[in-house]
Structure 1
Amino acid sequence: MKNYYKYLTSCVLFLFILFAVPLMGQQTTPFAVKGIIADSLTKKNIEFATISILDNNQKVVALTYSDENGLFKSADITTGQYLLNLSFVGYGQKNLPFGISEEKPVFEFGKIFLSPGVNELNTVTIKGSKQLVEQQPGMLIYNAEKDISNNGGTAADVLRKAPILNVDAAGNVTMRGNSNLRILINGKYSGQMARSPGDALNMMPAGSIKSVEVITSPSARYDAEGAAGVINIITKKGHKSVSGTLELVGGNLEQAINPRLSINRDKWNINSTLHIHRFRSKELTSLERNTLQNGQATGRLLQETISDNTNPHSSGDVQIEFTPDSLNLFNFSVNGWLGRWPQDKEQTNRRFSETGVLIDEYFQNAITKAPSKGIDLNLGYTRKFRRPGEELYLMVQHNRSVDDFNYNSLQTSIEKIPIYRELNNNRTNNNEWTFQSDYILPLAESGKHALESGIKAILRSGGTVYEVQESIDDQTDVTVPVPSRSDIFDFNQNVLAAYSQIKLKWNSGWALQTGARMEGTFLEGKQRNPGTSFKNNFWNFVPSATLFRKINANNNLTLSYTKRISRPSLWDLNPNTNSQDPNNISVGNPGLRPEEVNQAEFTYALQTDTDLFMNFSIFGRKTNNSIETIVKIGEDGVATSTMQNLASNAQYGINFSTSAALLPNWKINSNANIRYAKYRSGALDISNDGMAWGINMNSSWKLRNNYSVQFYGDYDARSVTLQGNESSWFYYSFSAKKEIPAKKLTISFTTVSPFGSYLSRNEVVRAYDFESTFRNRRLMRSFRLSINWEFGGLLKNTNTRKINNDDQKNVKTGG
């Protein structure tokens, strides 16, 4: 408890300094510009339009947005002549000159009308930038394209900088200590993310990402899956006739080629990306496990493992949009990927008696081939009606993937004499169809009140074929099948869902969004050889509600509640036993049921017209029927890991996020969280609880002659798990960038952990009959140089609705 107060005091002191410095540095000015933005046809006020104020050199000196009433104001100007630039997706830009003087300190534009249009007017080039972190109703937005340290990196590097999120050295993402979240790409489901989020993030170049939306309390429109929340990655798209980039990346741990091309022809918009990437992953691990009986040691196992692998992979994406007129939009996209993810290992094993005498020692070499490939196809249609705000969406999606996990494990004595060989060939396939329809009905002419409803069907079929062979009598060159460990597992999962929600906004600044979702899940599984099968059918009622209060243009409050579920995926259910390491085996559990989560959150947000942003939230989350990895020790001393519904957990905490300009060319953004976690399992007679906290900071400086430098650091303190704890870890990087505007070239250099080769983290697992400590050291010291050439003008995103199958728990391990 003393450590908790020490950590809490440190965080509060840090955040006070962080917030107080920019607040004290702000100056009040009487000069301002005001106005209201509205649609020229419907006369409806436009919310979240971008308002840029440019000087005579067309450089942005202030940036703001219109509120829910279309009202905007900016006080971050002095006397002089300016140009007001107005822009919003689906409307042509508008530029209006104005002047500010001592005699006329406030310039009133009154009502300004924007005209709807498919193509935007190329009337001005915006040289300013948005804030790195922004607040919008229901989400935080991280504008990744403004962060120089992302150049040449991957999506995992981008998510490390986003508010509320944490990404460890392996690319595993958590939100407030929970890894059960959904990651979408442009609002749609990704087969890559469903297979393995860590691998998928490494297959996506950072340069293709425009922004990241962090949604902590998803509405009823989202699938009920994703207890922690939803992450939506928005990619860049072109709006010029021809535009794109070519990025080359070279470094000691990774190399990549990332071309992007966009073509815009009248009613057609085509965007394509390609990612060819190769990276090295090296780990040094050790495991020390003591077996116990009545609290007394009965034996000890020591393992030391070296894993050094190269992972080549590639992915590509093509998106086509056709707009025959202002009321209809057709979109089609295809995304494919393939790669190899080997997990070769060299391991030394030593077993000791209860008195410390060495009783067994051998070496083990495992060669693992894990190729994967897949494709996502999307087809959508959007219909806008004459009535403002009335829209219909129709979508269909098809996903197909194949994953292999084949290992060849050989054991030898200390004299290098072969002892035993095991082969395990496992192929998993997944085939999926999704059909979705959404309809928005405005309930008032102003469009402030609306009813949204939708239906969805997900039809999944898949399975895994696995065959195990082993050597007999030390004849490792000859292997024979093991029928008891070989089988064909078929799996079907169908989900039917319907939802409805109402959105209400009032001129007083209050807004309410509430709704509910009903989901039916129908599971079937069959193991062919023993002829056993199972069926699980269940319905889930998922309510959600968000109450929003806009105090003024800069301050707002949000109170939200949501219920979420987490279904087991095919990889959780796969009954194939992975005994690549015979002392530590893992197996899926076909009998898993979904877990249920209730979550509440209260948020205060401050966002000024200057570069100050602050978000403070208090949250609570209770998980029932929790899916947890359980480790048990057999009589032979072998540890078996499997997932079971044997626990519940609760987490409560606070989260701070801020972004500020300490000086005109010095900006920082930071995130800090403190949470209390409590785990309980009556079936296993286990309880564990404790505090956890973490903090990160991103600081960038703009220098002369188009140079920029940046530092990023992330520290996570010790955290508890159901059966033990995980130690603290620290990640940091330095970046520098040189822009050559005349040639549209950007040269970036990034180094990660230059003062320490490896990032270390330990995991402790305890039970009544054993205690183990797993120590992991991952090679992190890296140097990366990237060259980015841009052609054809600015890049921006479009606003279309896509399918987002966020309904499965993402846990993917080999086999």
Structure 2
Amino acid sequence: MKYQYPRQLHKLLFFINLLFISNVSLSQTPAPFQVSGIVTDSTSRKAIEFATISILDNEKKVIALTYTDESGVFKSSDITTGSFFLNLSFVGYRQKVIPFTIKPNTPGFEFGTILLSSEVNQLNAVTVTGSRQLVEQQPGMLIYNAEKDISNQGGTAADVLRKAPILNVDASGKVTMRGNSNLRILINGKYSGQMARSPGDALNMMPAGSIKSVEVITSPSARYDAEGAAGVINIITKKGNQSTSGTIEIVGGNLEQAINLRIAVNRDKWNITSTLHLHRFREREIADLDRVTYDNGAASGRILQNVVKDNAKPHSSGDFQLEYTPDSASIFNFSVNGWLGSWPQNSEQFNQSFNVNGTLLNKYTQSVTTKAPNRGIDLNLGYTRKFRKPGEELYIMAQHNSASEDYNYNAFRRDEELLTYRERNYNRTKNREWTFQTDYIMPLSYSSKHALELGAKAILRNVSSIYDVAASSGYQPELLEPISERSDIFDYRQDVTAAYTQLKFKWSSGWAIHVGARVEGTFLEGNQIRLGTNFTNTFWNFVPSATIFKRLNPNNNLTLSYTKRISRPSIWDLNPNRDSQDPQNIFIGNPDLRPEEVNQVEFTYALQTDAEFFFNTSLFARRTNNSIESIVTIDNAGAATTTKQNLASNEQYGINFSTAIPLLPGWKINSNANVRHARFSSGALNISNNGMAWGVNVNSSWKLANNYSVQFYGDYDAREVTLQGYQSEWFYYSFSAKKEIPSKKLSITLTTVSPFSSYISQQEVVRSADFTSTFRNQYLQRSVRLSLNWEFGNMLGGGKSRKINNDDLKNAKPNG
């Protein structure tokens, strides 16, 4: 039965064709022909993923190149009529070449199931043509194949993201994309309560060995939540595709120790994956503050401060994923992720204040002890329905997140060992969240090249923060008395509704166009129960996106994209609890924050050759209005108060490069570089600041004889301007060596970070007409770790089921 389109759909297609391809004559475009098939192991009949599929012409030149997916399926629609050769290759298997012919008036050529025979006895002679590169280009994203990087053994997700293209992870663990930290980090395409709470902590709770790849999405389409001004990072974890497979990893080092367990069970209709992560790491930091205050342009005083932090942070996390496929048309998936840990921020401070003549006015020490336990759980349930028409799919998903977090500090101020002041702040935060989402893909052609995507989503979020503050008086410093004006219950509700539509067109001439739009409504309500104050607000945002893609040939392509993004403040930005554990540097939330809006355009050129040479370059420009920035003000005593405000805008434009170069057999170099110009301005504060910033990293790996390999990684980032100052340059580097014992499926990896300098230093300068503050932070990085990794079975592949991704909150590491 021939598929019949509704009359309205014909009108829609006619309008879109007039709008986007008025200069293209489709009647002159050769009809596309699809070549497809399934590649499996000749003995086990298991699907072979990542097999290289090359289509050759009569002169044996490559005219199309693709790979098999998780199910061993390959498809290619890049050829016309004629005679060709299908070349199949993968490491450990005999190469196979199959001639075939495509005739006119046929839909293409279906190979069915193709069996590849193992070539175990000749493994040393096999050319690794089916091995994926460390960095790959896909439309709209760059993919970092982390499982190929030996230096990730024994590390955490923070180490992995540090080496991904376009991203930067500084010495304190903050992740940025092209200088912007406002990005979304997803796990297998879904929202993570850990990442929303504190990305830096969450990345340390995820072992590097569980990560298959990292997708760096610089221009998200309308399908993604509008949140995330800089872009989206999607971390893909490994998944078993053998009957039983897994990994046990033990890590020991001077700064961290870990035990990581992964196990997967795969049956005909069931796939179960479970992970357990036990981790303890030490974080040591030394900070020096030099703040000079001014009165009418003349220096009026000075504050010097030295702070030492040395904390052990034990934590653990676990994950369980279940996928059930009753038939070829349906997929059910369920997952649960839980975590718990302690993240103390104990510190010892020495403070001095001087008058304008340099006379010492006051000095004291401040000891702070903190307790910061947190725990949480994410539950996901999803259903995927595939219809008879190729490419037509329906997704229905639900998610529940529940988390509790405490941040309690006790501060003791002493003068010559005599207690003069004490303050206690107990803060208990609870988050409850429900999410419901549905997506539908409707092909507009039988070949599935053109498609309409529709979706809707609702997020119901409720957060409460109970904080009680007590402090001593000057006469009885050991006796604590409640401070009612600083104690309250902050209840915050944020509901988000969204709907989107997206049209995708692809032609055999190499052109592709994606256009979409998303509408999001945000409904806010906040209450300070004891004070009796409340606020409500409603925002509606229209978020368009568009991408034009041109494949010049099988190895070269161009992409032009535009997207609009928004950033909502998080509970930690809004929480009015005053954190004054450091009396010279106070932090307080701002309940009146509004979302910021970002417009971004990007032009990308990508080259990827059969010789494993890769090159990608992007020109980008981004403007942020109503920008959420950290604003620092000073009081008469010289103490600084930091809060978030919508009092600025910023513009950034620049260029970034990513490349992979095979120098010699077994020796490769990967590198990422970026250069950008930033301009910040605030009319309300009468501030403007601008300047250049750049960074480069190099990752070189060399496979040696007898299953040895070595690797070097280095990352340098130059000075970067901020609204009220700048951050200085910093340098990070590491060396790794690995020995594999294939017969035992055992690998031993030794990694050392910063072996020639114990601390990584970074300076931050904040200034205004009233003061200039210079922070010099030193982070202990010199470390060595030994990782023993034993595998049974094979851990390959990522989940293909769609899951919820609540990428709608601006991350901010809380201080209570």
TM-score between both structures, scaled by the size of structure 1: 0.88
Q: Work out the CA distance in 2 between the residues paired with 1:238 and 1:161.
A: 25
1:569 corresponds to: 570
Q: Is the 8 A contact 1:243 1:795 kept in 2?
A: no
Task: State the distance in 1 between where 2:772 and 2:684 align.
Answer: 19
Equivalent position of 1:199 in the other structure? 201
Structure 1: distance between partners of 2:344 and 2:117:
49
2:311 match: 309
Secondary structure at the aligned position of 1:153 is classed as coil
Gaps of 5+ in 2: 1-32, 39-48, 55-63, 68-73, 103-107
Secondary structure in structure 2 of the residue aligned to 1:580: coil
CA contact (8 A) 2:136 2:144 kept: yes
* In 1: Cα distance, 2:185 partner to 2:618 partner: 22
Q: Does 1:234 align with 2:236?
A: yes
Counterpart amino acid of 1:184? Answer: L
| Mapping for residues 252-291 of structure 1, pairs under 5 Å | 252-291=254-293
Shift in CA distance, 425/114, structure 1 to aligned 2, threshold 3 Å: farther
Aligned twin of 1:813 = 814
| Counterparts of residues 582-601 of structure 1 (less than 5 Å) | 582-601=583-602
> Which residue does the alignment assign to 1:45?
none
Distance 1:390 1:96, change over 3 A: farther
Structure 1 residue 798, shift from structure 2 partner: 2.7
Cα separation, 2, equivalents of 1:558 and 1:336: 39
Distance 1:122 1:381, change over 3 A: farther
Q: Which residue of 2 aligns with 1:84?
A: 88
Please give the root-mean-square deviation of Cα atoms over the aligned residues, in Å: 2.4
Is contact 2:450-2:506 (8 Å) kept?
Answer: yes
Distance 1:354 1:653, change over 3 A: same
* Match runs of 1:316-331 below 5 Å: 316-331=318-333
Distance change >3 Å, CA 72–CA 657, structure 1 → 2:
farther
Distance in 2 of aligned mates of 1:589 and 1:191: 22
In 1, are the aligned partners of 2:587 and 2:641 still within 8 Å (CA)? yes
Matching residue of 1:531: 532
Mapping for residues 691-770 of structure 1, pairs under 5 Å? 691-770=692-771
Query: How many angstroms does 1:70 deviate by?
Result: 3.6
Mapped to 2, the partners of 1:329 and 1:114 lie a distance apart of 26
What is residue 224 of structure 1 aligned with on the other side? 226
CA contact (8 A) 1:566 1:808 kept: yes
CA distance in 2, matches of 1:472, 1:155: 46
1:137 to 2:135 alignment: no
Whole-Å separation in 2 of the counterparts to 1:224 and 1:143 = 26
Cα distance, 1:587–1:703 mapped onto 2, change above 3 Å: same
Instruction: Summarize the alignment of residues 383-422 of structure 1 with structure 2, pairs less than 5 Å apart.
Output: 383-413=385-415, 415-422=416-423
> Which AA in structure 2 matches 1:492?
R
Matched to 1:333, the amino acid is: S
Aligned length: 745
Q: Aligned-pair distance for 1:477?
A: 2.9
User: 1:405 is paired with a residue of what secondary structure?
Assistant: strand
Distance change in 2, residues 1:457/1:472 (3 Å): same
794-803 or 134-143: bigger deviation: 794-803
**Equivalences for residues 761-780 of structure 1 within 5 A:** 761-780=762-781
Unaligned runs of 5+ in 1: 1-34, 41-47, 54-62, 74-80, 88-92, 100-106
* CA 1:336–1:124: 2 relative to 1, 3 Å: farther
Residue number in structure 1 paired with 2:454 = 453
Contact 2:248 2:790 in 1 (8 A): yes
CA contact (8 A) 1:633 1:770 kept: yes
CA contact (8 A) 1:69 1:507 kept: no
Q: Residues 505, 83 of structure 1: CA spacing in aligned structure 2 closer, same or farther, 3 A cutoff?
A: closer
Secondary structure of 1:751's aligned partner: strand
The answer on whether the counterparts of 1:65 and 1:72 sit within 8 Å (CA) in structure 2 is no
Of the three residues 381, 384, 387, the one matched with 1:382 is 384
Letter in 1 for 2:97: F
- Give the direction of change, closer, same or farther, for the CA distance of 1:141–1:37 in structure 2 (3 Å limit): same
Q: C-alpha distance in 2, partners of 1:36/1:738?
A: 43
Query: How much does 1:472 deviate?
Result: 1.9
Say if 2:371 is the partner of 1:347: no
1:108 CA displacement: 6.2
Report 1:131-210 matches (<5 A): 131-210=133-212
Distance 1:72 1:585 in 2: 64
What SS class does the counterpart of residue 578 from structure 1 fall into?
coil
Q: Corresponding residue for 1:468?
A: 469
Shift of 1:94: 11
Amino acid at match of 1:621: R
Contact kept? 1:463, 1:489, Cα under 8 Å: yes
Change (3 A) 1:233 1:374: same
Partner of 2:36: 38
CA distance in 2, matches of 1:808, 1:797: 25
Relative to structure 1, the CA distance from residue 537 to residue 203 in structure 2 (aligned partners, 3 Å threshold; closer, same or farther) is same
Label 1:748 to 1:399 Cα distance change in 2 as closer, same or farther (>3 A): same
Distance 1:745 1:410 in 2: 51
Q: Which amino acid aligns with 2:36?
A: A
Amino acid of the structure 2 residue aligned with 1:141: I
Q: For 2:152 and 2:653, how far apart are their aligned partners in 1?
A: 32
Q: What are the superposed Cα offsets for residues 225-250 of structure 1, whole Å, 9 maximum, x if unpaired? A: 00100000000000111000000000
CA distance in 1, matches of 2:549, 2:451: 16
Cross-structure match for 1:31: none
| Residue matched to 1:668 | 669
* Counterpart Cα distance in 1 of 2:754 and 2:101: 52
Q: State the TM-score, normalized to the length of structure 2.
A: 0.88
Q: Is the 8 A contact 1:758 1:779 kept in 2?
A: yes
User: Following TM superposition, by how much is the alpha carbon of 1:475 offset from its aligned partner in structure 2, in angstroms?
Assistant: 2.7
Counterparts of 1:423 and 1:641, CA distance in 2 = 20
Aligned to 2:637: 636
> Is the CA contact 1:37–1:49 (under 8 Å) kept in the aligned structure 2?
no
Report the residue type matching 1:38 in the other structure: S
Distance 1:258 1:121 in 2: 34
CA displacement, residues 351-370 of structure 1 (integer Å, 9 cap, x when unaligned): 00110000100001000111
Code of the aligned partner of 1:37: V
Deviations 1:148-183 (A, max 9, x none): 000000000000110000001222100000000000
* Cα 1:112/1:663, change in 2 over 3 Å: farther
Letter in 2 for 1:113: E
Aligned to 2:97: 98
| 1:24 equivalent in structure 2 | none
- 1:364 aligns to 2:362 (yes or no): no
Aligned-pair identity (%): 66
**Contact 2:300/2:356 (<8 A) preserved:** yes
